[in-house]
A and B are shown apart, each in its own frame.
Chain A
Amino acid sequence: MWREKLQIHKSNWIAALHPSCKFLVVCLYSFCALLLASFKVGEGEYSLYTIAWFVIVPALAIGSGIIKRFWNAFTKVLLVAVVIIVVQSLLIPGGDTVAQLWILKVREEGLRSAIYLGFSVMNIAGIFVWFFQTTENKEISCALEDSGTNYKVTYVFISTLQMIEILGQNSKTIMNAQQARGVETQGNIVVRTRAFFASLVPLILGAITGTEERVLTLESKGFDVNCKKSRLFQIEKTGREKMVNTIAIAITVAIVGWRVALWIL
């Protein structure tokens, strides 16, 4: 059951950082990851720094005390990254052969693009996984509202997350009911497509008929009134936001400086 959480207290100070501060870290980290990926290192000209840069993501996850949840969410990203790396290194021809296994050859150019794409995806998607695993959706919407976003936007965001859960349950109910009436859900593709129609059309219709009532409810509660809304939920600051922001900006400036220096020299 969905229960309203009034306040969130976190014991870990990294996880408890203000969402806007964490978001700045995410943006700067992604930017640095792309910048580092453009560094070509050594004879093979592989972007090796981007691999080293990736150490930061697990380190942050461990530091925030969420390594287990992080790993569960990150496996999806990892799958995509591994597929990218394998396909790129095996399928792109060009350059000398780096390694050979039976008829599978890994060429230089393939490996170069495999590292570049695979680790860029892992870096950027990884830091986002960290962000969303340490930040509750409520905190995000609260921080958005504090930064001047219209309350209607944050309402839509929060209500979407609830609606997914509600419609997910409804769809199971409808599927069961349709199966009970004799709609086949197994068989060839035409049969399965028909089952898809039979479950989705009632689901959408039910949701649409419910909206009229929800409009009335929201209007009676003064959703459209133009005034300052009071809120039960508040986000706390840990007091270390400034320090983290400064460190993040300093690292970014250093990397940009390094890149520019390499271009000029």
Chain B
Amino acid sequence: MEKKYSIKKDFSMIAILIIPIAVAVNFVGGQLASLLKLPMYLDTIGTIFAAMLCGPWVGATAGVLTNVVTGIANPVNFAFIPVNLLVGLVTGYLARGNMFSVWWKWILSMFIMAIVSIASAAPIVVLVYGGVTGGGTSLITATAMAAGVNIWAAVIGTEGIFTVLDRIISFVISWLVIRVIPDRTLVKFGCGNLYIKKKKQEAPAEVK
């Protein structure tokens, strides 16, 4: 039976409580990544996780709220609200489309997620900040620009590699967490049933 979704139903009690966690995970993930000196932002893990569990609109809300909250400390982040909004939406719709069930679908989904992020982030970086934002990848971008590379190519090239890696790690972490959440908890989430079915399909194979 096809499950029906509505935006109002998406925001159930548990989804409302997941949003703050998702934002905090984004925040802590970003801090941890810079603490461990990883060359990626890794600040969308919570958004991806919330979108995978509770659907696109909860994910999008978590994404927007992340940038609003980090924007309070540094308003430069406000400009990137659309990027995180799209991360949540796209991941959520991919989850609903059952695109996280088989390994080749994973790879496809990760590339879709990365492409959407780059396509939405690049115009903001180029048009609002002129190609550099003072982040870790800015130095590479600036060097490429100095070497005469077109600004769009420089931004998309450097951001692209790191965004793909970023999405792979974020997705794997979300997946690892979802796999160990017990079924009785999973079923309370909007998209949780998608991950339960898979476990049940595996179970009989082991019995045989």
Contact = CB atoms under 8 A, between A and B. Distances in A.
B128 A204 contact: no
Given A164-B69, A185-B36, A212-B185, A201 B19 contact: no
A215 B15 CA distance: 10
B173 A125 contact: no
Contacts of A160: 19-20, 23-24, 65, 69
B20 A156 contact: yes
A31 interface: no
A83 B177 CA distance: 38
B131 interface: yes
B32 A200 contact: yes
Contacts of B107: none
Interface string A210-236: 011011001100011000000000000
Interface in A145-171: 152, 155-157, 159-164, 166-168, 171
Contacts of A166: 24
B129 A121 contact: yes
A197 interface: yes
B42 to A, nearest CB: 7
Contact of B21 (A79, A117, A204): A204
A168 B29 CA distance: 9
B162 interface: no
Interface string B185-203: 1001000000000000000
Tell me if B's interface is mostly helix, strand, loop or mixed.
helix
Nearest to A218: B13
B207 interface: no
B132 A87 contact: yes
A178 to B, nearest CB: 11
A83 B137 CA distance: 13
Given A189-B38, A204-B21, A168 B76 contact: no
A203 interface: yes
Contacts of A155: 16
Contacts of A50: none
Contact of B32 (A161, A199, A209, A223): A199
Interface in B63-78: 65, 69, 71-76, 78
Interface in B36-73: 36-39, 42, 45-46, 49, 61, 65, 69, 71-73
A91 interface: yes
B97 interface: no
B21 A156 contact: no
Contacts of B65: 156-157, 160
A214 B134 contact: no
A87 B142 contact: yes
Nearest to B23: A160
Given A91-B145, A199-B32, A211-B14, A205 B177 contact: yes
Nearest to B21: A207
A219 B11 CA distance: 15
Contacts of B49: 204
Contacts of A84: 129-130, 132
A196 B41 CA distance: 12
A90 B38 CA distance: 29
Interface of B: 11, 13-14, 16-21, 23-25, 27-29, 31-33, 36-39, 42, 45-46, 49, 61, 65, 69, 71-76, 78, 128-134, 138, 142, 145-146, 169, 172-173, 176-177, 180-181, 185, 188
18 contacts: A87-B131, A87-B132, A90-B146, A121-B128, A125-B75, A125-B76, A128-B78, A129-B75, A160-B24, A161-B69, A164-B28, A164-B69, A168-B27, A175-B32, A203-B25, A204-B46, A204-B49, A205-B181
**In the A-B complex, the 8 residue pairs with the closest CB atoms:** A128-B75, A125-B75, A163-B20, A167-B24, A163-B24, A160-B20, A192-B36, A159-B20
